[in-house]
Amino acid sequence: MTESSSPRARYLLIATAFALALGLAGCSAAKVFTQRNGLAGEKAGVVAGNSDTVWVYSYYQIPSGSGYEVIGGVSEFKTFGNWTTYTKDDGLASALLYSIAIDGDSVWFGTADGASLFDKSKGTWRTFKTADGLVSNDVLCIAPGADKVWLGTKQGVSVYDKASGKWSSLTEEDGLIFRYVRDVAVDGDAAYFATSNGVSRFDSAKGEWSSITKDNGLGDNMVNCIVVGFDSIWFGTGAGVSRLEKSTGSWVHYGESEGLPKEGVSAAAVGSDAVWFLTQKGVARFDPAKQKWRISNEGLPATQLNDIAVGKGNVWVATNNGLVRLGGGGLSTLHIVLLVAAVCVVVGGTYAARRRAGGKVKGEEPKKKVPERPPYVLCGGNPSAENCPRCKYNILSGGSLYCKKYSKKVDYARPGGSQKAAPP
C-alpha cells in the first residue's frame, strides 16, 4: 500500500488482516479443544458432524462416595472455534452419553437414561424413555433414516417413526442376532446392526431379516462399527475392516498387512474422498480411489481414542485429552469475502489517489486529447448560407463567409437585401 491510498482502504486492510489471522490460527494442522475452548469437560467421548455443524460430548469426573460422578454435556461448534454447550440443566437426559446423531435441525443424543431430541430451529428439548416406548434407556447408537430413526440399545432396537411419532421395537425374538447393539447404519430401506455375534440386516420395506457373520464373509463376529459409503458397507471388527461391495456382493478384508496400524477397529467415519477408522494404535485413512492406506496420528494428544467424525470439512477425533480437529479447516467464506473486498478497495483507492495527484498509474496508457465538440450545427462538408452563420469555423473573407474546416468560400446574401458578410 502507498501513502496515497485512502484511509478507508487502510482501515479495511487492517481489519481484514486481523480476521485472516484469526482464521488461520484456527486452521492449524491439528487443534485440540477442551474446557478452555468452551467444552463441558476435558475428556471427549462422542463426536458427530456433517457439512454444516459438529457436535461433541465431553465430560469430567469428580469423586463421589466409593466411585466417581460424571459431569458432562454436549457442545456445538461455532465460528472461530467457539462452542455452545448444553447440559442436564438445559434438557439433556443424562450427563453420561453414548451417541450423537444429526438429522437436519434435529439432533439426537443417546444417553444412559433415555434418548434426548434437540430441535435447533425451536430451541426445544424432549426426552424419550422406556415409558414412552424405548426398549431400554441405555441408548448406545442412533442412525436417522428417511422416515425412521433407528436406536440401538442394550436390550435391542427401538424405531421412531418421524411421521407418527410412535415407537416400535426389534429384539432377538423378532430376528435380531444379539440384543446388545453396538452400532447401527442405514442404507435406504435396510438397517444394519453391529453386535458381538455378527451383524443383523433388516429390510424395513419387506420386513425381512438376514445375518452377516464369519460364515458368509465377515472378517470377525465382533463388530464395533458400521458405515456406508463409496458403494460399500464398511464393518469395523476385532480383526480389522471388512468391506462389502454392494454392486458385486464381494468382500474385501483389510488388516495390519494391508495398512491398518492395529486390527481392532472401534469407530469409523466416511468423508468426501476417504474412510476413516480408529484403532488401538491411532487413526487410519483409506482412499478408495487409490486403494491406499495412511496413518494419521500427528497432533493427537492421547492414545485413548474414543470416536471419530467428519464435519465442516474436517476430521474430528474424540480423545481422553480433548477433541482434536485434524487437517485444518481452511479460510471461511467470510475471510475470503473480506480479503477480496480489501484488495479491491486498496487497489481502487491507490488508483484514484494517483489520478487526483496527476500522476501516471502504472500500466495506464496516456489518453489522447479529444477535441471539444463544437456547440453549433455543422454542415457535414457542404457549407451553405443557412448553416454557415452558426458554424464556428467560418470567418469573414472579402464579403463572403469562408469555411476554415472545409476550405471553402460561401456566398452569403440576406433575403431581400444586399450582399453582406454575416457576423461569425
The three state secondary structure string of 360-419 is CCCCCCCCCCCCCCCCCCCCCCCCCCCCHHHCCCEEEECCEEEECCCCEEECCECCCCCE
Residues 362 and 379 occupy one common structural domain = no
Among candidate residues 307, 334, 361, the one where a domain is terminated? 334
Residues 193 and 300 occupy one common structural domain = yes
pLDDT at 36 over 60: yes
In this structure, the chain runs to a length of 424
Q: Using pLDDT thresholds of 50, 70 and 90, give the confidence band for residue 329.
A: very low
Residues 2 and 126 occupy one common structural domain = no
C-alpha cell at 126: 424432549
Residues 294 and 238 occupy one common structural domain = yes
Q: What is the dihedral of CA 247, 252, 258, 260, to 10 degrees?
A: 90
Query: Could you identify the residue written with the cell 424395513?
Result: 204
What does the pLDDT read at residue 331?
A: 44
The closest alpha carbon to 55, from 2, 108, 116, belongs to 108
Residues 125 and 9 occupy one common structural domain = no
Instruction: Give me the residues paired with residue 110 across strands.
Output: 99, 115
C-alpha cell at 339: 480479503
Residues 407 and 284 occupy one common structural domain = no
Which residues form the domain of 397? Answer: 374-424
pLDDT at 127 over 90: yes
Residues 292 and 389 occupy one common structural domain = no
Model pLDDT for residues 64-118, shown as the tens digit of each residue: 988 999 999 999 998 777 899 999 999 999 999 999 999 999 999 999 999 999 9
Q: How far apart are CA 221 and CA 244, in angstroms?
A: 15
Count of the separate structural domains present in the chain: 3
What does the pLDDT read at residue 30?
A: 81
Q: The domain that contains 47 carries what CATH number?
A: 2.130.10.10
Residues 59 and 7 occupy one common structural domain = no
Query: Could you identify the residue written with the cell 455378527?
Result: 198
Residues 148 and 250 occupy one common structural domain = yes
Residues 100 and 243 occupy one common structural domain = yes
Residues 240 and 317 occupy one common structural domain = yes
The closest alpha carbon to 134, from 170, 95, 108, 178, belongs to 170
What does the pLDDT read at residue 153?
A: 98
Sheet containing strand 30-33, strands side by side: 30-33, 322-326, 314-319, 305-311
What does the pLDDT read at residue 47?
A: 98
Q: How far apart are CA 332 and CA 157, in angstroms?
A: 40
3-state secondary structure 214-225: HHHCCCCCCEEE
Q: Using pLDDT thresholds of 50, 70 and 90, give the confidence band for residue 403.
A: confident
Distances in whole angstroms, Cα of residue 421 to Cα of each of 378, 385, 392, 416: 19, 11, 15, 14
Residues 245 and 258 occupy one common structural domain = yes
Q: Report the pLDDT averaged over residues 51-56.
A: 96
Model pLDDT for residues 269-290, shown as the tens digit of each residue: 999 999 999 998 999 999 999 9
Model pLDDT for residues 142-189, shown as the tens digit of each residue: 999 999 999 999 999 999 999 999 999 999 999 999 999 999 999 999
The closest alpha carbon to 380, from 362, 403, 356, 413, belongs to 403
